[in-house]
Amino acid sequence: MALALGTGAILLVVLLWELVRPTFKRAVARGREIWSLRRGASTLSGYDPGRERRAEQRARALLRSCVDERDWAMYRDLGFLRVWGERGRGKRASYAYLIYPHKPIVAYVPQTGALLNEYCVAFPDLSRPYGSSRLPDSDDVLAKWMALTADERRLIADANMHLPGRQVDPGRVRRDLLRLARWERERSVPDPRGTDRAGADPRASSGADTDVRGPDRADTLHA
Amino acid sequence: MKLLRMKPGHGEIMLAEGDVRVPEQERELIEAFRRELDAGMWAAVPTGSPGGRREAELVKSFAEVPREAERVIFFPRAAGGAPGATL
């Protein structure tokens, strides 16, 4: 009896294996193919999430060591930096910039929140050391910050200027200005370079209906 | 003084380090500085104003670097244009 059952079980297993084998072989072959493709793509692009994460950590440390503690806190908490316009340094600022990683620099009027322009600028490393010319996010922000604070006119002259909304959603910027205003209220330490409404209430005005020309490379900045 | 360079996929790397008061080390710093400028990089020196305000200064030659500067940061020169995606 036991012998018969054992033989039957073995036969059943063999039959099942014969049925499953073609599917199993196809699945293994497909898996190998996908793995090979992924490996090839990874080699070609050179993208390594772990490496990129470590690069960003280094970049954040470098950014933190270069900017004010207040600016670092702003970037850490809000994800962008504000830089006052050239003419506003040391006195009340008439315009300011928002620096986002790998996005155009946005110029706006702090008093009203009106958006002025977008300045598209990038810092591509053409040597592409790991297959990409793109700096880590925080390095991109630091590069913009250094270029703006060191030579605003030159950076603006090198950038492509567009009206607000070309690449950066104006609604997003206005929300960010509200977040900035709230953030500054919570810190209760107004930036002396700003105004009484340092972050400004962007609902007060929009870029579309303002007649403020802002830091245009062709007139205001070089006037 | 340290010469640092921003690098995609890595963060900053140290190109050279030395004391500008030591002629041999200063020479090495100058050579590394020139190499980066020849490669098309911009050089910036993070600074702090008397009021405590931090800024940066772009320099075009090693002679323009303040002697007391601790770091010079090289980064790719600016080019107009940016990715087309909406934020």
CB of A95 within 8 A of CB of A88? yes
Dig out the tokens for B8 from the structure: 């995609």
For residue A220, pLDDT over 60 is answered with: no
Task: Concatenate the DSSP letters of all residues of A6-40 into one string.
Answer: HHHHHHHHHHHHHHHHHHHHHHHHHHHHHHHHHHH
Work out the minimum CA distance from A33 to partner chain B, whole angstroms: 28
The CA distance from A82 to A75, in Å, is: 9
Q: Is the minimum CB–CB distance between B64 and chain A shorter than 8 Å? A: no
Nearest to A150 among B9, B56, B77 (CB): B56
DSSP, collapsed to helix, strand or coil, labels residue A182 as helix
Give the pLDDT mean for A52-77. 95
pLDDT per residue over A134-185, tens digit each?
999 999 999 999 999 999 999 999 899 999 999 999 999 999 999 999 999 9
For residue A213, pLDDT over 80 is answered with: no
> Do A132 and B8 count as a contact with CB atoms less than 8 A apart?
yes
Contacts of residue B78 in chain A, CB cutoff 8 Å?
121-123, 143, 147, 155, 158-159
pLDDT of residue B86: 44
Contacts of residue A134 in chain B, CB cutoff 8 Å?
8
Domain boundaries, chain B: 2-76
Q: Phi and psi of A66, rounded to 5°?
A: -100, -35
Domain boundaries, chain A: 1-41, 52-209
* Chain B residue closest in CA terms to A48: B9
pLDDT of residue B65: 96
* Token pair 């073995």: residue: A10
pLDDT of residue B87: 47
Work out the minimum CA distance from A154 to partner chain B, whole angstroms: 9
Helix (H) or strand (E) holding B79: strand B79-80
Give the pLDDT mean for A46-73. 92
> Do B8 and A145 count as a contact with CB atoms less than 8 A apart?
no
Range with lowest mean pLDDT among A57-71, A81-95, A127-141, A162-176: A81-95
pLDDT of residue A215: 46
> Do A160 and B40 count as a contact with CB atoms less than 8 A apart?
no
More confident residue, A15 or A116: A116
pLDDT of residue B45: 96
Nearest to A51 among B9, B44, B87 (CB): B9
For residue A42, pLDDT over 50 is answered with: yes
- Helix axis angle for A49-66 and A137-158, nearest 10°, is 60
Contacts of residue B10 in chain A, CB cutoff 8 Å?
51, 55, 58, 129-130
Work out the minimum CA distance from A187 to partner chain B, whole angstroms: 18
For residue A44, pLDDT over 60 is answered with: no
> Do B6 and A139 count as a contact with CB atoms less than 8 A apart?
yes
pLDDT of residue A16: 83
Q: Is the minimum CB–CB distance between B82 and chain A shorter than 8 Å? A: yes
> For chain A, what percent of residues have pLDDT higher than 90?
50
* Chain A residue closest in CA terms to B86: A167
pLDDT of residue A197: 46
Nearest to B57 among A62, A122, A150 (CB): A150
CB of A105 within 8 A of CB of A159? yes
pLDDT of residue A91: 63
For residue A195, pLDDT over 80 is answered with: no
pTM value > 0.80: no
Terminal C-alpha separation, chain B: 38
Q: Phi and psi of A148, rounded to 5°?
A: -70, -45
Give the pLDDT mean for A41-60. 81
**Nearest Cα to A111, choosing from A184, A186, A198?**
A198
> Do B86 and A168 count as a contact with CB atoms less than 8 A apart?
yes
Q: Which pLDDT band holds residue A193 (cuts at 50, 70, 90)?
A: low
Nearest to A133 among B8, B58, B78 (CB): B8
User: Which B residues 1-20 touch A at CB under 8 Å?
Assistant: 4, 6-12
Give the pLDDT mean for A30-45. 65
Task: Report, as ranges of residue numbers, the positions in chain B whose pLDDT lies below 70.
Answer: 49-52, 81-87
CB of B56 within 8 A of CB of A66? yes
**Nearest Cα to A108, choosing from A168, A52, A59?**
A168
* Rounded to 5°, angle at Cα B27 from B22 and B33: 125
Q: Which pLDDT band holds residue A214 (cuts at 50, 70, 90)?
A: very low
Task: Concatenate the DSSP letters of all residues of B4-73 into one string.
Answer: EEEETTTEEEEEEE--TTSHHHHHHHHHHHHHHHHTTEEEEEEEE-TTS-EEEEEESSGGGS-TT--EEE
Within a 10 A sphere around the Cβ of B38, how many other Cβ atoms? 8
pLDDT per residue over A99-145, tens digit each?
999 999 999 999 999 999 999 999 999 888 887 889 999 999 999 99
Task: Concatenate the DSSP letters of all residues of A26-87 into one string.
Answer: HHHHHHHHHHHHHHHHHHHH---HHHHHHHHHHHHHHHHHHS-HHHHHHHHHHS-EEEE-GG
CB of A146 within 8 A of CB of A211? no
